């Protein structure tokens, strides 16, 4: 019998300290430039101060990109511009420095960690530190079968929790969260449609490589069919992830919840991370206060999920490539907000009689 009880997260997750946020707002009101003159940077500085429980806010010095990787057999229906089972090629490119996230991370000096949860390849072909959390080879074809068994879902969820603990224990002070998958946006669309009570066509996007109209219709049909399987299990979030999520999405959900427990702030990337965040919100309603939506990817499912969680993207138009690249673009703004809140001097009071 499983000892994993998701209801525990409701009690374990606290909101960032509201008193600290008020202190941060009061501190901001005394700075040399008036409140509001820095736009969204003011909000980001106050959010980060509350997450850190620190006024003035501390600089973000040890950010880390964490990418959960997996293949989804739903891609066999040609719902993606990439062939099914080829996410490992993307992972190798990330590790070798040839993907957008690799270039941006290198430029910003941010380490990248890849966690294989369900790549469709021989685990011996990748480094041990990448594959050690894998639970299976490819997640099931969610239109006709479950993505995971109950045991695999629990293992994936616990793996995500373990990665969050590892990052918090190592001193990571902000996580840039993303996915490396083929078929992952289809699974994400199912989760968003199920949790928002909407039709498949409302959440079906064209992915990072902009699939054509025929592929979009196949993707829409796949989400519709998987949605029929998702609706009966909406009341059980772990079962929902096992039915139509997949190992990487399940691990990301566990990661997001445990990060909130550990008071580790997270930058969300695209539609896949947004879908996982939406599931996590159903588990613990306070959890989204620890996350920041980095950018609007243009995927309708992401927009729907962020609206449901009342999360406003930092960047109004980011990138659709996924893999954490869009979230990395928002990182310098968060770091700039922290620097301004901490280092701007206070206004000089006018001399009496002046």
Residue with tokens 């957008």: 100
The secondary structure of the chain in percent helix, strand, coil, rounded to multiples of 5, reads 55, 10, 35
Q: Which residues in 72-211 belong to E strands, given as ranges?
A: 112-118, 174-182
* 133 within 8 A of 163, measured Cβ to Cβ: yes
299 assigned to active site: no
For helices 87-96 and 100-108, the axis angle rounded to 10 degrees is: 30
Burial of 349 (0-12, 13-18, 19+ CB in 10 A): exposed
β-partners of residue 291 are 266
Residue 140: CB atoms within 10 A of its CB come to 22
**Residue 42 structure tokens:** 């003011």
Could you tell me the CA-to-CA distances from 196 to 47, 270, 304 in Å, in that order?
26, 17, 8
Per annotation, catalytic residue among 312, 323, 343, 349: 323
Could you tell me the CA-to-CA distances from 353 to 279, 349, 350 in Å, in that order?
60, 12, 8
Could you tell me the CA-to-CA distances from 81 to 40, 75, 205, 212, 318 in Å, in that order?
35, 9, 12, 8, 20
* 254 within 8 A of 157, measured Cβ to Cβ: yes
Annotated active-site positions, please? Answer: 323
């Amino acid at each position: 019998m499983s000892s994993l009880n998701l209801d525990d997260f409701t009690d374990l997750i606290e909101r960032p300290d509201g008193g600290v946020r008020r202190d941060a707002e009061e501190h901001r009101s005394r700075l040399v430039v008036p409140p509001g003159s820095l736009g969204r940077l003011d909000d980001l500085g106050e959010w980060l101060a509350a997450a850190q429980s620190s006024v003035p806010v501390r600089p973000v010095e040890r950010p880390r990109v964490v990418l959960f990787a997996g293949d989804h057999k739903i891609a066999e229906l040609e719902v993606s511009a990439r062939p099914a089972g080829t996410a490992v090629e993307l992972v190798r490119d990330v590790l070798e420095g040839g993907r957008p996230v690799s270039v941006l991370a290198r430029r910003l000096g941010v380490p990248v960690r890849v966690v294989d949860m369900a790549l469709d390849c021989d685990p011996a072909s990748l480094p041990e530190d990448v594959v050690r959390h894998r639970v299976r080879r490819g997640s099931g074809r969610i239109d006709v079968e479950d993505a995971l068994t109950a045991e695999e879902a629990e293992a994936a969820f616990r793996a995500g929790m373990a990665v969050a603990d590892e990052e918090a224990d190592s001193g990571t002070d902000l996580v840039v969260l993303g996915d490396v998958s083929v078929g992952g946006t289809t699974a994400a669309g199912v989760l968003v449609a199920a949790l928002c009570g909407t039709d498949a066509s409302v959440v079906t996007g064209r992915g990072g490589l902009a699939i054509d109209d025929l592929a979009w219709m196949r993707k829409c049909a796949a989400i519709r069919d998987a949605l029929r399987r998702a609706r009966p299990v909406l009341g059980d979030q772990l079962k929902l992830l096992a039915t139509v999520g997949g190992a990487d999405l399940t691990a990301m959900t566990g990661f997001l919840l445990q990060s909130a427990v550990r008071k580790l702030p997270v930058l969300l990337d695209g539609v896949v991370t947004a879908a996982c965040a939406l599931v996590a919100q159903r588990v613990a309603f306070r959890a989204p206060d620890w996350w920041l939506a980095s950018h609007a990817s243009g995927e309708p499912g992401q927009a729907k999920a962020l609206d449901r969680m009342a999360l406003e993207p930092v960047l109004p138009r980011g990138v659709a490539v996924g893999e954490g690249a869009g979230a990395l673009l928002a990182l310098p703004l968060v770091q700039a907000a922290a620097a301004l809140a901490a280092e701007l001097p206070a206004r000089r009071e006018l001399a009496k009689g002046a």
